[in-house]
Amino acid sequence: MQARNESGYELWLRYRPLDDAERLAQYRAAINSVVVLGTSATAAIIKNELVRAMPALLDVDVPFVDNPIGNTLIVGTVDELKTIGVSISPDDSRNIGDEGCVIASAEGAKQSLISNLQSLRDAPQSPISNLQCLITANAAPAVLTGVFHLLRLLQTHQDIRALDIVSVPKIRHRILAHWDNLDGTIERGYAGRSLWNWDELPAKIAARYHDYARACASIGINGACLTNVNASIKGLTAEYLEKTAALADGFRPYGVRVFLSPQFTAPVRIGGLSTSDPRDPNVAAWWKDKVDEIYRLIPDFGGFQVKANSEGQPGPQDNGANHDDGANMLADALAPHGGFLLWRAFVYDTNIDADRANCANKEFVPLDGKFRSNVLVQAKNGPIDFQPREPFHPLFGAMPRTPLALELQITQEYLGQSKHLVYLGGMWKEVLDSDTYAQGVGSTVAKIVSAPMNSCIVGVANTGTDRNWCGHHFSQANWYAFGRLAWDYELSAEAIADEWIRMTWSNESRVVDMLKPMMLGSWEACVNYMMPLGLHHLMKEHHHYGPDPGFNGAPRPDWNNVYYHRADMNGIGFDRTHTGSINVGMYHRPLCEEFDNIATCPEKFLLWFHHVPWHHRLYSGRTLWQELQHRYDEGITFVEEMQNAWQRLQSKIDGERFEHVRQRLTHQLENAREWRDVCIEYFGQFQNSATESH
């Protein structure tokens, strides 16, 4: 019988009775009562989560008690645990920091920080003689993280008899950046309107705000930048700061700090000054007063994310100053409060360099070491703009004295938006695992981003007011994957997909075995049917959905698609070699030589770095033109296979979600075919001319 309909609102936090009898018996035996220590707002959230989850998962009543009875799960901070005789050394406590957590069972805690569990449990008259499992951390929000970790194990049917888990985030700041406007629209949003109803704030705190923070906490996200980087001046007014403070109050117990994107000209536009020059003492004083005002309302305010001197946004260069002048002035205002600044490196003034891919390096590398310690230069994963596939941004590895934040795009601006099933775990792993060779072998992007100076990763959010949060049920997986990789970038895309499928759809092997290959192959398929072999920036203008490789009507060259593919009768691709724009020279050896040589350049980046003759032979033995046609067809074939696989799962999926995804896959196939037909027809005219000339 088909399952009851679901809207998708529960995301991956669906708590359903286990359908594995052996695991269910194990869990019931291991946890037949729960003790939640503490009286904080977070402790109340922890208890509510366990009250919701445990009886639902175990399909029996699980009593919540003040003292252990039977096999008990005990949950509390390190300090709270001391009241029942459990302690860890100060050194060990420091090792887990403010956000790390420990999950241990009496049977399993042999190597963990609480290795005295077994002896305490066996001691006569011990207050925890009935302890089976324990979750602890230094701070209450980190305990909540541990609770969600344990629930994830239960939801995915893992063995919990011998737990010995110490989980500490590899990246300190893990932030969702919402490109949300104050009028409720979302730039590059494909799931309805903004979650933040500014007109009703601060008086009305919608339940969905708490559900949002809960979802973030469940995957370790600890920050939310609420406003668009293309900033509204109203965001810093007293009226809107009070609204922001109301959201911050709701997020705080979940361990989520709020950030804002300010407009750089605020001192003039709302401050009454005659200039926004960051070198002017009056401007610095205005920002200091504004930041002080924010922290009076929001004591744990995270800081600012700034887009400056990019795509029409104002910045320090408008006054003859530079990026470091503007960033340091704002950072100085934030520093006394413990705040930090994300200064985006998305700048591409082609007067600086004719190749847009070179511009950010030329502007920022000379400033290495000139930024304050609480400034992070935030670079996108690639040097153009969130294309379906790009080589990693050469800034990673080029600024050793400056903390770099990695910006990923969860919302699928160039990847079919909410209409296409495209799981991005593999895309992000490709970037994170890329070796920059900046300090020799092993200097991966992940290692640079997680450097101990002040590490940060930012994901452009894909959430909205659609009931299922993300527009497409499978787009939820990208929100989930971002959080999991931000916490631990060593996780594999496959492991994350496996978790998400089991928590969101089913633990049944047939469902997992069919959905996982769909997800893991979907990104490569999307690259193939849109922009294979290193092609990029072929989408339609403005809305960026669908193909338009011949577009050449923009007011500046690098906004035209023909600027990027440069197709002519001689070949196709952007020459970024030593004979072209010399972009390859911005990468360390051996990458610069590898990318520079057409014989060694990875084919996935071939047309990114080379203008390649149509008759050039690839590894497959096919000519470039034949290979392009093959890749487009291959991408479409994969979407057809996804359609067929999904149809075979109809009896295993609830009707509402099944039909939603079925319709999306139908549209995805239509759009994939459009991409192939338009691109092959357009590029074919150049290839045909080349053939005729021979």
Q: The CATH number of the domain where 683 resides is what?
A: 3.90.1330.10
139 & 156 share domain: yes
Q: Length of the chain, please?
A: 694
Cβ neighbours for 668, distance < 8 A, ≥ 6 positions apart: 416, 419, 420, 421, 639, 642
What's 4-55 look like in SS3?
CCCCCCCCCCCCCCCCCHHHHHHHHHHCCEEEECCCCHHHHHHHHHHHHHHH
Handedness of CA 473, 149, 429, 172 (dihedral sign): positive
Q: Which two tokens stand for residue 511?
A: 């469902």
User: 504, 536, 560: which is the final residue of a domain?
Assistant: 504
Full residue range of the structural domain in which residue 671 is found: 528-574+611-693
Reduce the DSSP state of residue 81 to 3 states and report it.
Answer: helix
CB 298, CB 257: distance < 8 Å: no
264 & 404 share domain: yes
Q: Which two tokens stand for residue 87?
A: 């302690």
- pLDDT (0 to 100) of residue 503: 98
Asked whether residue 244 is assigned to any structural domain, the reply reads yes
277 & 400 share domain: yes
- pLDDT (0 to 100) of residue 10: 98
Q: Of the residues 385, 488, 548, 656, which is catalytic? A: 385
Asked whether residue 37 is assigned to any structural domain, the reply reads yes
H or E element that contains 257 = strand 257-260
Asked whether residue 12 is assigned to any structural domain, the reply reads no
User: 488, 504, 520: which is the final residue of a domain?
Assistant: 504
Annotated active-site residue 385? The verdict is: yes
Strand-by-strand arrangement of the 164-167 sheet: 33-36, 72-75, 131-137, 101-105, 164-167
Q: Is-above-0.95 flag for pTM?
A: yes
553 & 662 share domain: yes
Asked whether residue 605 is assigned to any structural domain, the reply reads no
CB 333, CB 282: distance < 8 Å: no
CB 411, CB 386: distance < 8 Å: no
What is the four-CA torsion angle of 487, 488, 489, 494, rounded to 10 degrees? Answer: -110
358 & 383 share domain: yes
- pLDDT (0 to 100) of residue 110: 52
In this structure, the number of other CB atoms found within 10 A of the CB of residue 510 comes to: 12
127 & 242 share domain: no
46 & 129 share domain: yes
**Cis amide leading into 124 (omega within 30):** no
Cβ neighbours for 165, distance < 8 A, ≥ 6 positions apart: 101, 102, 103, 104, 112, 149
State how far the Cα of 103 lies from the Cα of 142, in Å rounded to an integer: 11
Reduce the DSSP state of residue 134 to 3 states and report it.
Answer: strand
Handedness of CA 311, 312, 318, 324 (dihedral sign): negative
- For residue 30, give the CATH number of its domain: 3.30.379.10
153 & 284 share domain: no
Cβ neighbours for 73, distance < 8 A, ≥ 6 positions apart: 31, 33, 34, 35, 50, 132, 133, 134, 135, 150
Going by C-alpha positions, the residue among 50, 32, 13 that lies closest to residue 133 is 32
Q: Which two tokens stand for residue 309?
A: 């001197």
Asked whether residue 240 is assigned to any structural domain, the reply reads yes
Annotated active-site residue 634? The verdict is: no
242 & 328 share domain: yes
Going by C-alpha positions, the residue among 324, 389, 390, 388 that lies closest to residue 357 is 390
285 & 347 share domain: yes
**Orientation of helix 140-155 relative to helix 207-218, angle to 10°:** 80
Strand blocks (E) in 374-462: 375-380, 404-409, 456-460
Reduce the DSSP state of residue 195 to 3 states and report it.
Answer: coil
Asked whether residue 308 is assigned to any structural domain, the reply reads yes
State how far the Cα of 318 lies from the Cα of 39, in Å rounded to an integer: 52
State how far the Cα of 524 lies from the Cα of 422, in Å rounded to an integer: 9
Q: Of the residues 122, 311, 674, 677, which is catalytic? A: 311
State how far the Cα of 565 lies from the Cα of 578, in Å rounded to an integer: 18
Cβ neighbours for 118, distance < 8 A, ≥ 6 positions apart: 106, 107, 109
State how far the Cα of 690 lies from the Cα of 569, in Å rounded to an integer: 5
CB 186, CB 170: distance < 8 Å: no
Annotated active-site residue 311? The verdict is: yes
Q: Which two tokens stand for residue 187?
A: 């730039």
Asked whether residue 515 is assigned to any structural domain, the reply reads no
State how far the Cα of 36 lies from the Cα of 525, in Å rounded to an integer: 47
State the total domains in the chain: 3
- pLDDT (0 to 100) of residue 71: 85
Q: Which two tokens stand for residue 342?
A: 């994300």
User: 504, 519, 553: which is the final residue of a domain?
Assistant: 504
Q: Of the residues 277, 363, 407, 413, which is catalytic? A: 413
Asked whether residue 280 is assigned to any structural domain, the reply reads yes
152 & 208 share domain: no
Q: What is the pLDDT of residues 377-436, one digit of tens each?
A: 999 999 999 999 999 999 999 999 999 999 999 999 999 999 999 999 999 999 999 999
160 & 185 share domain: no
> Residues of 437-467 as b/e, b for ≥16 C-beta within 10 angstroms?
bbeeeebbbbbbbbeeebbbbbbbbbbbbbe
Residue ranges of the chain with per-residue pLDDT less than 70: 1, 91, 108-131, 690, 692-694
CB 31, CB 61: distance < 8 Å: no
What is the four-CA torsion angle of 95, 444, 440, 385, rounded to 10 degrees? Answer: -140
CB 170, CB 141: distance < 8 Å: no
